[in-house]
Amino acid sequence: MTLKEDEYLNEADGLLYCSKCHTPRQCRVQLGGKEFRPAIRCHCHQEAYELQEKERKQREFLEHISRLKASGLQDKALRDYNFSNDRGYNPEIRKAHEYVAHWKEMKEKCSVGTGRAGSDDQFRPHPEHPDRDVLQ
Ligand SMILES: [Zn+2]
């Protein structure tokens, strides 16, 4: 067993101790009739570890906040984008929607008027001019 500079073997219990805080860096565990001496943190290592963890959590928290802020700005940008879309409502799209509604109505009237069902092909919007009324 090699000793580090800052530890010593306590002859009272045969475990490694920290030479700074004088608390054990090993513990005894009995498993299946065998004794193990897993390494544990001495008091000063534990304090250093806790400080590190606290700093890490603080850093993660700040990163989390900055991510939230960034996504908040992104949401705002998206809202603005949608808002401008609403204002600039595309009149061509509106025309196309009206045409489709109108087209269904025409098809129904035509079917009643002539006594035969209009075929779908007959009343389908012109592929290059979807806003053109094909029945006029
Ligand atoms: Zn220590």
Distance 57 CA to ligand 1 centre (A): 23
Predicted structure pTM score? 0.47
Strand, helix or coil for residue 64? helix
Rg (CA), the chain: 40
Distance 41 CA to ligand 1 centre (A): 8
Distance between CA 123 and CA 102 in Å, rounded?
A: 11
Distance 63 CA to ligand 1 centre (A): 32
Distances (CA, A) of 132 to 81, 107, 118, 121, 124: 31, 15, 18, 15, 11
Digit-by-digit pLDDT tens for the chain (136 residues) are: 688 999 999 999 999 999 999 999 999 999 999 999 999 999 999 999 999 999 999 999 999 999 888 887 766 666 665 544 555 456 666 666 666 667 666 666 655 544 455 555 555 566 676 666 555 4
pLDDT tens digit sequence for 61-83: 999 999 888 887 766 666 665 54
Query: What does pLDDT average to over the chain?
Result: 78
Question: For position 23, what pLDDT does the model report?
Answer: 97
Surrounding residues of ion ligand 1, Cβ less than 5 A: 18, 20-21, 42, 44
